């Protein structure tokens, strides 16, 4: 993180100020910092507001507020603390194409390289107090990569769709499972091999993204393109004419795949 010391800024009532925070991660690991805002009156006087004994200020969980109290109980200054969590993200990789004929099924092994992973033992992993919290918006599938020792690397992965409409089209047609994992400690590259199943029911072209997050820090995104080509012809229907200007009729049955 690059912090900027902004001193002596004058703010009128209801005026806003932007606080620049520049994040330039050097490694794929968790970074944490705190932005501290300290405000006081320009004339040096205190605010007459007094904090009652036992009262609690700052009930907003998104913003921790501390009051600096003078000897007479008046408010001398206010400090806001803004925690900043930084997650490095690797450059997006080239797309992997999964191609299948409609009404067929294909299984394809997809090999994903996670470059710059902090290996166990190389750098101490964050402890429970400082580790990243995983909320419901982050990848839901979990896998551990281990070298047989007590130190492990834990990854979360998820197939993310560009929109709810694409999700509704693809979710029941696509399956993904981790089948193999390995790492190279010298190059700091972890290889995750997934088995991707695609069983389209009609021609289409849609995109999705495999999101992989390491709990030690780092985020990788791998685009997938799902292409379903035209299905094979079900049958050839021959209609033989019985004469000029006379109708020839042939019948065939169609079975619905759904109710």
Q: For residue 183, what are the contacts with CB-CB under 8 A and spacing of at least 6? A: 117, 119, 145, 147, 153, 189, 190, 191
What is the model's pLDDT at position 51? Answer: 59
Q: Domain of residue 101: give its range.
A: 96-120+153-229
* Banded model confidence at residue 95, pLDDT cuts 50, 70, 90: very high
Cα(132)–Cα(142) distance, integer angstroms = 14
Q: Using an 8 Å Cβ cutoff, are 73 and 97 in contact?
A: no
More confident residue, 228 or 62: 228
Residues 79 and 186 in one domain: no
What is the model's pLDDT at position 101? Answer: 96
Residues 81 and 160 in one domain: no
Q: Provide the CATH number for the domain around residue 105.
A: 2.60.40.2310
- Residue 143: pLDDT over 80: no
Tokens of 136: 């419901």
What is the model's pLDDT at position 138? Answer: 47
What is the model's pLDDT at position 197? Answer: 97
Q: For residue 20, what are the contacts with CB-CB under 8 A and spacing of at least 6? A: 4
Residues 69 and 160 in one domain: no
Closest residue by Cα to residue 233 from 103, 63, 86 = 103
Strand positions, DSSP E, 6-128: 31-39, 47-50, 64-69, 74-86, 96-101, 106-115
How many folded domains does the chain comprise? Answer: 2
Residues 51 and 69 in one domain: yes
Residues 115 and 170 in one domain: yes
Residues 64 and 113 in one domain: no
Look over the chain and give the mean of its residue pLDDT values, rounded to a whole number: 81
Q: Using an 8 Å Cβ cutoff, are 129 and 259 in contact?
A: no
* Banded model confidence at residue 139, pLDDT cuts 50, 70, 90: low
Strand positions, DSSP E, 87-203: 96-101, 106-115, 141-146, 152-161, 174-184, 189-198
C-alpha torsion angle, residues 222, 228, 229, 232 (rounded to 10): 140
Q: For residue 129, tell me if it sits in a domain.
A: no
Q: What is the mean pLDDT of residues 32-44?
A: 87
Q: For residue 52, tell me if it sits in a domain.
A: yes
What is the model's pLDDT at position 160? Answer: 93
What is the model's pLDDT at position 258? Answer: 78
Pairing verdict, β 189-198 and 141-146: unpaired
Residues 224 and 159 in one domain: yes
Residues 105 and 174 in one domain: yes
Residues 32 and 102 in one domain: no
Residues 159 and 80 in one domain: no
What is the model's pLDDT at position 93? Answer: 86
What is the model's pLDDT at position 5? Answer: 65
Q: For residue 248, tell me if it sits in a domain.
A: no
Residues 67 and 109 in one domain: no
Q: Torsion-angle region of residue 182: left (phi > 0), alpha (psi -120 to 50) or beta?
A: beta
Q: What is the mean pLDDT of residues 68-86?
A: 85
Q: For residue 238, tell me if it sits in a domain.
A: no
Residue the block writes with tokens 């492990």: 152
* Banded model confidence at residue 39, pLDDT cuts 50, 70, 90: confident
Cα(47)–Cα(73) distance, integer angstroms = 10
More confident residue, 144 or 205: 205
pTM for the full model?
0.67
More confident residue, 72 or 40: 40
The per-residue pLDDT for range 117-133, each reduced to its tens digit, is 887 665 443 433 333 33
The per-residue pLDDT for range 213-255, each reduced to its tens digit, is 988 889 999 999 999 999 999 889 999 998 899 999 999 888 8
Residues 164 and 42 in one domain: no
What is the model's pLDDT at position 61? Answer: 39
């Amino acid at each position: 993180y690059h912090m900027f010391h902004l001193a002596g800024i004058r703010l009128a009532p209801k005026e806003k100020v932007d606080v620049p925070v520049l994040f330039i991660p050097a490694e794929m690991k968790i970074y944490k910092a705190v932005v501290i805002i300290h405000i006081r009156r320009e004339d040096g006087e205190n605010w007459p507001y007094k904090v009652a004994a036992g009262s609690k200020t700052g009930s907003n969980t998104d913003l921790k507020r501390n009051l600096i109290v003078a000897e007479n109980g008046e408010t001398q200054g206010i400090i806001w603390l803004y925690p900043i969590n930084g997650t490095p993200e690797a450059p997006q990789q080239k797309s992997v194409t999964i191609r299948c004929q409609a009404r067929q099924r294909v299984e394809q092994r997809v090999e994903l390289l996670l470059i710059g992973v902090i290996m166990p033992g190389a750098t101490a992993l964050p402890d429970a107090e400082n580790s990243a919290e995983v909320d419901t918006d982050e990848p839901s599938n979990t896998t551990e990569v281990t070298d047989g020792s007590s130190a492990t690397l834990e990854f979360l992965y998820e197939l993310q769709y560009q929109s709810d409409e694409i999700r509704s089209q693809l979710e029941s047609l696509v399956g993904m499972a981790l089948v193999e994992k390995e790492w190279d400690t010298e190059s700091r590259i972890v290889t995750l091999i997934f088995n991707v199943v695609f069983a389209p029911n009609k021609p289409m072209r849609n995109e999705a993204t495999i999101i992989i997050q390491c709990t030690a820090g780092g985020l990788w995104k791998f685009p997938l393109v799902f292409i379903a080509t035209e299905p094979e012809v079900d049958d050839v229907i021959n209609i033989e004419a019985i004469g000029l200007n006379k109708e020839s009729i042939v019948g065939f049955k169609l079975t619905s795949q759904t109710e």
